[in-house]
């Protein structure tokens, strides 16, 4: 796993592809509806899936965490790690025919830094120079171990300055009908139904893409999606995490389930607390809730042993994770004692207080089923739980990002390196009202801020591990989040499909090499 910025020069030609016959359509399923399709200012897989087709990025990554050329045909990292130079291809064009230049890369980096929820991802970038049309020089305030990884398709789409450079980018109409330089261009969008992407005949990699079009079809619930896949109406399901559905699909003929891809996603299922809202502003209350929950019951019974437990903010498969944290093994007596100590005494009906749990439209097993369990489990220590479902993703995102919630279940990703996908949740500076998947718990601990900022610029792996170990211990003890389980993310698709991405980002990568066999 690459966790430090390499001090090497990578030079490799972009290959011309001669492969399968062109043609055909691909129908990819998506649960819920993306707010828009501009991955430069919006995170999440619902946006990443179309964004990585519509926009190209400087680099791509292989399944063994090796960076490869994309828009950047080569790159160089200075010996002190403070300058990164990109040498761009000279034949990339946006879908409207305008050539892509270094000015667009500079504009995109600055836009992402200013607008993306992952505030720490490009925080060390101090300036970007463009000495000529195909050269980009990125200057850093300090070494940035995650910078090359941040140049991946899902994280750094290069957007056209001539389209997005005027007015408020958050409300730019092009967010809903993007113009990029990726293998597919915007075709048609019917909200709540599908997004059609058409083959880009002028893609800068000769011979790609193979498919004529991709339909990203929206489904309101997993059950409807499963039925559509079984009927043959859907060709691919990305982000499959349901034990029940995975077992069901694995028993079907002509279906392939890829479990060994997308390692960089690092999905964790958790229960998040609004730490500024009484009584959850009291750490004793949060710790009591943690002690009242039986994580083993959730993973072994509710999730059928399909998912492994998670105990902290960094996914266990990361070399930066530590097991030396408080596990909060279930202890109802201790939970009740902590609630008493916090002054939360039971009323005549036995209830100490009532909390609501917000649910996204994710699968039932890691969402509603766990919430129903919490309702019965927490009742044993005098906490009344009410479930508050949302009709769609934008409603849930609005509630959580504006702190109109008590508790929420969510699946959140590490995105390869803590600097990219972990720090954003815990830094005080990333409490950003209205921005989903920022520090929506409003959690603030000065020592955590210090540790994360120091680890973000440390290239030595062992020193980074020590810094992140202390960070994990503090966060787990403070309980802004109770960590439930690692989400087993896989991709199901018809076996006749070839060229399905096997990189660290899985199908949240360009689908330019996908073809029908």
* CA pair distance 1, 418, nearest whole angstrom: 13
Q: Alpha-carbon Rg of the chain, whole angstroms?
A: 23
Q: How many Å separate Cα 321 from the centre of its chain?
A: 18
Q: What pLDDT does 363 receive?
A: 62
Overall residue count recorded for the chain in this entry: 517
Cis? peptide before 209, omega within 30° of 0: yes
Ramachandran region of residue 167, left (φ > 0), alpha (ψ -120 to 50) or beta? left
Q: Which residues contact 373 (CB under 8 A, 6 or more apart)?
A: 297, 298, 302
* CA pair distance 125, 142, nearest whole angstrom: 8
Give the phi and the psi of residue 456 in degrees, each rounded to 5. -65, -20
The tokens of 407 are what? 């508790």
Helix and strand numbers (H, E) in the chain are 14, 21
Give me the residues paired with residue 86 across strands.
75, 136
| Predicted model pTM | 0.80
Q: How many CB atoms lie within 10 A of CB 350?
A: 11
The tokens of 176 are what? 């809903």
**By CB neighbour count within 10 A (0-12 exposed, 13-18 middle, 19+ buried), where does 11 fall?**
exposed
Helices (H), 73-157: 102-115
SS3 252: coil
Q: Give the strands of the sheet with 194-199, arranged side by side.
A: 184-190, 194-199, 213-219, 25-31, 236-240, 490-494, 255-258
SS3 379: helix
Give the phi and the psi of residue 232 in degrees, each rounded to 5. 90, 5
The tokens of 366 are what? 């890691």
Give me the residues paired with residue 491 across strands.
258
- Extents of the domains making up the chain: 20-215+491-516, 267-486
* CA pair distance 417, 486, nearest whole angstrom: 16
The tokens of 228 are what? 């559509």
Q: Which of 381, 292, 371 is nearest to 344 (CA)?
A: 381
DSSP 254-317: TEEEE-S--TTT-EEEEEEE-TTSTTTTSHHHHHHHHHH--HHHIIIIITTT-S-B--SSS-TT
Counting Cα atoms < 13 Å in the Cβ hemisphere of 29 gives 26
Residuewise pLDDT in 10s, the chain (517 residues)? 444 444 334 444 444 444 577 799 999 999 877 889 999 999 888 899 999 999 999 999 998 889 999 999 999 999 999 999 999 999 999 999 999 999 999 999 999 999 998 878 999 999 999 999 999 999 999 999 999 999 999 999 999 999 999 999 999 999 999 999 999 999 999 988 999 999 999 999 999 999 999 999 999 888 899 999 999 999 999 988 888 888 899 999 999 999 877 888 899 999 999 999 999 999 999 999 999 999 999 999 999 888 899 999 999 988 899 999 999 999 999 999 999 999 999 999 999 999 999 987 666 889 999 999 999 999 999 999 999 988 888 899 999 999 999 999 999 999 999 999 999 999 999 999 998 889 999 999 999 999 999 999 888 889 999 999 999 999 999 999 999 999 988 899 999 999 999 998 999 999 999 999 9
**Which architecture does CATH list for 20-215+491-516?**
3-Layer(aba) Sandwich (3.40)
Ramachandran region of residue 351, left (φ > 0), alpha (ψ -120 to 50) or beta? beta
| Strand 125-132 with 83-88, pairing | unpaired
Q: Which of 7, 61, 14 is nearest to 420 (CA)?
A: 61
**Angle 80-86-88 from CA coordinates, rounded to 5°:** 170
Q: How many CB atoms lie within 10 A of CB 459?
A: 16
CATH code for the structural domain at 267-486: 3.10.105.10
Q: Are 357 and 408 in contact (CB under 8 A)?
A: yes
């Amino acid at each position: 796993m690459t966790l430090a910025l390499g001090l090497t020069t990578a030079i490799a030609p972009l290959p011309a592809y001669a492969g399968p016959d062109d043609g055909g359509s691909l129908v990819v399923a998506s649960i819920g509806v993306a707010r828009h399709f501009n991955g430069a200012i919006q995170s999440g897989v619902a946006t990443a899936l179309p964004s990585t087709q519509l926009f190209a990025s400087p680099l791509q990554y292989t399944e063994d965490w090796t960076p490869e050329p994309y828009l950047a045909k080569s790159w160089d990292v200075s010996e002190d790690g403070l300058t990164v130079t990109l040498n761009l291809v000279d034949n990339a064009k946006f879908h409207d025919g305008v050539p892509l230049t270094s000015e667009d890369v500079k504009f995109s980096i600055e836009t992402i830094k200013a607008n993306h929820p992952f505030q720490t991802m490009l925080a060390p970038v101090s300036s970007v120079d463009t000495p000529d049309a195909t050269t980009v020089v990125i200057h850093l305030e300090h070494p940035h171990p995650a910078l090359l990884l941040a140049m991946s398709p899902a994280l750094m789409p290069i957007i056209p300055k001539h389209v997005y450079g005027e007015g408020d980018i958050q409300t730019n109409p092009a967010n809903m009908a993007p113009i990029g330089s990726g293998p597919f261009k915007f075709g048609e969008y019917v909200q709540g139904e599908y997004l059609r992407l058409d083959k880009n005949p002028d893609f800068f990699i000769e011979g790609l893409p193979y498919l004529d079009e991709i339909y990203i079809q929206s489904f309101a619930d997993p059950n409807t999606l499963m039925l559509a896949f079984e009927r043959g109406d859907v060709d691919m399901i990305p982000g499959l995490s349901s034990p029940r559905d995975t077992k069901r699909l694995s028993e079907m003929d002509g279906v392939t389930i890829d479990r060994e891809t997308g390692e960089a996603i690092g999905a964790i299922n958790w229960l998040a607390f609004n730490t500024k809202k009484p009584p959850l502003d009291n750490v004793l209350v949060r710790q009591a809730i943690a002690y009242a929950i039986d994580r083993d019951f959730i993973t072994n019974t509710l999730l059928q042993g399909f998912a492994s437990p998670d105990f902290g903010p960094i996914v266990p498969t990361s070399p930066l994770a530590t097991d030396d944290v408080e596990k909060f093994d279930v202890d109802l007596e201790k939970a009740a004692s902590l609630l008493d100590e916090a002054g939360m005494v039971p009323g005549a009906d036995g209830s100490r207080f009532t909390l609501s749990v917000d649910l996204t439209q994710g699968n039932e097993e890691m969402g509603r089923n766990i919430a129903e369990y919490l309702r019965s489990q927490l009742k044993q220590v005098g906490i009344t739980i009410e479930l508050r479902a949302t009709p769609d993703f934008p409603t849930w995102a609005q509630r959580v990002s504006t702190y109109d919630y008590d508790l929420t279940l969510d699946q959140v990703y590490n995105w390869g390196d803590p600097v990219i996908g972990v720090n954003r949740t815990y830094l005080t500076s990333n409490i950003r009202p209205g921005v989903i998947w920022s520090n929506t718990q409003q959690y603030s601990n000065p020592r955590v801020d210090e540790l994360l900022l120091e680890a973000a610029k440390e290239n030595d792996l062992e020193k980074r591990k020590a810094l992140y170990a202390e960070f994990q211990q503090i966060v787990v003890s403070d309980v802004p989040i109770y960590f439930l389980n690692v989400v087993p993310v896989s991709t199901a698709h018809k076996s006749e499909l070839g060229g399905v991405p096997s990189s660290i980002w899985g199908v949240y990568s360009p689908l330019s090499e996908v073809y029908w066999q």
